[in-house]
Amino acid sequence: MDAAVKQTVGHYIGGKVVAGSSGRFGDVYNPALGEVTKSVALASAAEVGTAIDNAAQAFPGWAEVPPARRVQVLYRYRELLIQHMDEMARLLSSEHGKTVDDAKGSITRGLEVVEFACGIPQMLKGEFSEGVANGVDSWSMRQPLGVVAGITPFNFPAMVPMWMFPVAIACGNTFVLKPSERNPSCAGFMAQLLTDAGLPDGVVNVINGDKEAVDTLLSHPTIQAVSFVGSTTVGEYIYKTGCAHGKRVQALCGAKNHMVVMPDADMGQVVDAVMGAAYGSAGERCMAISVVVAVGDDTADRMMERLVPRIETLKVGAFDQEGVEMGPVITPDARDRIKGYIDRGVEEGAELVVDGRDISIPGYESGCFVGATVFDRVRPDMSVYTDEIFGPVLSVVRAKNYEEALQLVNDHEYGNGTAIFTRDGDTARDYGHRARIGMVGVNVPIPVPLAFHSFGGWKRSLFGDHYMHGPEGVRFYTRMKTLTSRWPSGIKEGAVFNFKAGGEH
C-alpha cells in the first residue's frame, strides 16, 4: 500500500469498530488529488457471517421493542446527524469529491427519511373488521422480516443508506449494510452515531467488501431481504441471485434521464435547471439529466445560445476550494472511462460543443477531473445517448415535434426519471400520463419524491416489486399477518366444518 495511506477503514459489528482479518484491502481515493489516501478492509465470507450472526442475535429483542420506543433512538440519531453535519459532509466530500454544499444537501435528503421513519407507528397500523361472521373478528398486522441487508453505491454514501436502514429498523428488523468500498467512511460514521443514540449493539452492522461480501449476503439463509442501488448490470445479478435464494429483493438501477424542452418553455428556467441537473455532483447520480430533447431546431438553438456560456464558465475544482460548483469524479478509472465516452461521441459524429477532456486544476493536476461537456445533434444510435455515462456529459437531441420527443423517452431501455419544461398545461398533463417512466417532473428537472412518498423507476431501472422509502419501503421491510378470532362465550356448541353462504358458520 502506498505510503500516502494514513488510515484503514474497518467494519462496524456489534456496536464497535472491527479491524478486517481477511488480509485483503481496497484503495480509497481522494478524487481531487487523484491519490490513494486510505485503505478499506474487504471482508471474507466468514466476516460477513459474523456481522449477520450479530444482527440475528439482536433481532428478537429489537423486534419486541414497541415501535414508539424504537423511534426514540431515531429521534436522538436525527439530532446527532444535525450536530455532526459539517464533519460528515467534509468526510463525504474527501472520499467522493462532490462539493461540501452538495454533500450537505444529500445528507439532508437522507435525514428526511429518518424523520419519516420517526412516524413509523402510524405506518404499522393494521386494519380491523368486526363480525366477519357470527362471533368472529378479523384484523391484520405488519411484522418485521428479520435480518435484512443493504448494498449501496458510491455516489451517495450517506443518503442512500439512509433510504434503507431507518425504515428497516423502525419496522423492527436488524440490518447489515455493505457500502461502496470506494468511499466507506460515512457508513461507519453513521453506525457510530446510531450507537451513540442508544441503538442496541448488533441492530445495525457495517461490513465493507467486494463481490465476495455481496455473494455471501445474497446466499446466506438468515438474510430475509436485500435492498440495492447501483448499476443495472449488478442490480439484475443481485435480483436474480437473491430471488433464487428465496429473498425479497428491491434493486434500483441505471438511468438515462431525458428532459423534454417545448418551444414555449421559459428558457431561463430551462438553462438553470440543466446546469444543476446535468452537472451537479459531476453527473454521478441516477437522477441526473443526461439527455435534453429540444422540440424544434429553433428551441434547441435558443437553449444552446444561453446554455453554452454557462457551461464554459462553470467553476470546477476541489471540494475545499472557494466558489467551486463542480468537483471531480470518483476515481482515475471513472475519469478515463468518461473521457472514452466523449472520444466515442466525436467518432460517432455528435457535435462536441463544449469539451471537458483537457481540464486541469492548478495544484490538483493529478485529480480525477472531467470538465462539463455538451454534445449537440446527438442521434439515438450513439453510445453517448444509449449508455449511462455517469459523468458530466450532456447530450442534446433535436426532435421534430412533441410526439417524436415522447417516443424517444418511451423507447429507451431505462425508465428512472424524466422531466418536461413547458407553459402548457395540456402538454404537461399528457406527458405525465403517457411517459413510461417511474418519476416525472413538470418544470422540475430532478423529480425525486420526498421521503413520505416512494422512489423508484420503471423498465430496466428497477428490479423487484417495491419502491424505496415512504409507504412502499414499509411494505418491503414488513410482512402482513391476518388474524381471525372467535371466543366461545355465548356461542352454541358444536363443530363447524365449512363456510356457508353469507359468511355464516
DSSP codes joined into one string, 153-208 = -SS-TTHHHHHHHHHHHHTT-EEEEE--TTS-HHHHHHHHHHHHTTPPTTSEEE--
As given in the structure block, the three cell numbers for residue 290 are 443526461
Active-site residue set? 286
Dihedral of alpha carbons 426, 432, 435, 441, sign = positive
pTM over 0.85: yes
Rounded CA gap, 12 and 17, in Å?
4
Rounded CA gap, 125 and 141, in Å?
7
Rounded CA gap, 439 and 416, in Å?
6
As given in the structure block, the three cell numbers for residue 303 are 437553449
The packing angle between helices 159-170 and 100-117, to 10°, is 10
Rounded CA gap, 424 and 261, in Å?
12
DSSP H helices, 84-134, are 85-96, 100-117, 120-123
Distance of CA 93 to the CA centre of its chain: 17
For the domain spanning 257-442, the CATH number is: 3.40.309.10
Superfamily, domain 7-253+461-482: Aldehyde Dehydrogenase; Chain A, domain 1 (3.40.605.10)
Rounded CA gap, 117 and 452, in Å?
9
pLDDT by residue, tens only, the chain of 505 residues: 444 446 999 999 999 999 999 999 999 999 999 999 999 999 999 999 999 999 999 999 999 999 999 999 999 999 999 999 999 999 999 999 999 999 999 999 999 999 999 999 999 999 999 999 988 999 999 999 999 999 999 999 999 999 999 999 999 999 999 999 999 999 999 999 999 999 999 999 999 999 999 999 999 999 999 999 999 999 999 999 999 999 999 999 999 999 999 999 999 999 999 999 999 999 999 999 999 999 999 999 999 999 999 999 999 999 989 999 999 999 999 999 999 999 999 999 999 999 999 999 999 999 999 999 999 999 999 999 999 999 999 999 999 999 999 999 999 999 999 999 999 999 999 999 999 999 999 999 998 888 888 888 889 999 998 998 999 999 999 999 999 999 987 555 555 555 555 554 4
Among 82, 139, 138, which residue's Cα sits nearest to residue 107? 82
In order of 220, 235, 345, 446, the CA distances from 292 in angstroms are 43, 26, 16, 13
Rounded CA gap, 211 and 148, in Å?
18
As given in the structure block, the three cell numbers for residue 226 are 436485500
Q: Residue 25 phi/psi, 5° resolution?
A: -140, 155
Sequence spans of domains, the chain: 7-253+461-482, 257-442
